[in-house]
Copies of this chain bind each other. A is one copy, B any other.
Amino acid sequence: MPILIDIRKLTIIGKLIQHGAKNVADSLSTMANIDADIRIKSLSFVEPDDIPHEIGEGAFHHANIRLTEPPYGVFLMTFDDRTGEEIAHHMTGQPVEGELNQLQESALQEMCNILTSGFIDGIANTLETTINMETPTLEYDDAEVIAEETLSHIHSDSLSIVLDSVVDLQEENREFQLRIFLVPDPGAFVNLIDKLDIEEIREIDDLTARKDDDRAF
């Protein structure tokens, strides 16, 4: 059965993501005292089957949560060893030598919590709703395993929104590269977007008054 959306409402998906990213930046500032810009480098739509390929080759840090409220589905964040080491170093002030130590592990977990809740809350605010969620657990696995464990309950014809994002630390010349997968339930997602009016979203944009000249996704 087709799940239909007005093609002109696709611009709303971009706005949602933009607001999610902005909220992550705000959360980093208030919760971790980190001044950062979040840039979404690319947005694409893929099928769940393509997700292992999208995650990449080898093993990755990953954190995922199942959304128990609309738009349901899964939020998954992945990043590689290098990004993990950079975040751990930045958060603890200790360079990573070999394995992460316990403090560094905790710091990485804390960063994941901030990024995940910031992003989901940002989307929820724009949708004028709340999306309750559990705290994500940070794990480390091969891309195939990540996809299998995270997405086993997802229908193979679901839509997956893939975001390449960069957390750009203002105080130093350092960037963290993250990949985010949003795999909502297609029906619930369309239902949420259908309720939104593009004019309402414009008003929210005016209120948040974009400070930079970044692309509006």
Contact = CB atoms under 8 A, between A and B. Distances in A.
Interface of A: 2-8, 10-11, 13-14, 40-47, 50, 53-54, 57, 157-159, 162, 164, 186, 189-190, 198, 213, 215-217
A217 B161 CA distance: 10
A216 B54 CA distance: 8
12 contacts: A2-B8, A4-B7, A5-B5, A5-B7, A7-B186, A7-B189, A8-B158, A8-B186, A10-B45, A11-B45, A42-B217, A53-B216
A59 B130 CA distance: 43
B45 A42 contact: no
Contacts of A159: 7-8, 10-11
Number of copies: 2
Given A2-B6, A5-B7, A7-B186, A44 B216 contact: yes
- The main secondary structure of chain A at its interface with chain B is mixed
Nearest to A10: B45
Contacts of A46: 11, 14, 216
B216 A11 contact: no
Given A8-B186, A44-B216, 10 more contacts: A3-B8, A4-B5, A4-B6, A11-B45, A14-B45, A41-B41, A44-B217, A47-B198, A53-B216, A57-B213
A41 B5 CA distance: 25
A45 B198 CA distance: 13
